[in-house]
Structures are given as C-alpha cells and as structure tokens.
Copies of this chain bind each other. A is one copy, B any other.
Amino acid sequence: MAILRLTPKDRAAVLVCLPEWIYEPARDAIARDFSFPDFITAFSFMTQIAMIAEKMDHHPEWSNVYNHVSIRLTTHEAKGLSTRDIALARAINALLPS
C-alpha cells in the first residue's frame, strides 16, 4: 500500500502535539535540533534512533557536530510528511528525559 502524504488539515492536527518540531514548508518536512553534554551522549542518542528507525523501516536525514544532533523527517516515497514521520518523531521524543 502506498504511503500517503498528510493533507494540510491532518498535518496541522498532528503537529499541535509535536511543538518542539519545526515545520519546513519547502521540503514538507519537520526538523528538530538537540544538544547534549558531550559527544558520547549525542552519539548514544543517535544509536537508539538508528535501532528504532531500522525497526520502523523509516530513516531520518540527520547530522551531528560534536554534542549537537539535527534531525529532519520526511517521507521520500510520499514526497512529503506522512504518518511514518509522525511516528518516528514521537519515538524520538520518548527517548528524552521529560
């Protein structure tokens, strides 16, 4: 079954619950930056996400410089934001101490 891009209405509804993620209209993507005390904690966070992403079969676009991690989520197959990105964003949020 094809993965469908979220409609503007559905997107607006789900993003209300993800206030830390910035919507990027140009890519129809969401993005969030993270800072950690050091490289080890930053890369450990990436390792957790790598395992989750592989399990979901949905992977982030991400970059790292020392203690900073930047993550962008969009679904290439859907040419924009899909429910997969929302699920991955929620799983990433759940890794952080609340």
Contact surface of A with B, Cβ cutoff 8 Å: 39-41, 43-48, 50-55, 57, 59, 61-66, 97
Contact = CB atoms under 8 A, between A and B. Distances in A.
17 contacts: A39-B51, A41-B48, A43-B50, A44-B44, A44-B45, A44-B48, A47-B47, A51-B51, A52-B54, A55-B57, A59-B65, A59-B66, A61-B63, A61-B64, A62-B63, A63-B63, A63-B64
Copies of this chain present in the complex amount to 4
Mostly, the A contact residues are helix
Contacts of A66: 59
A87 B51 CA distance: 18
A54 B64 CA distance: 14
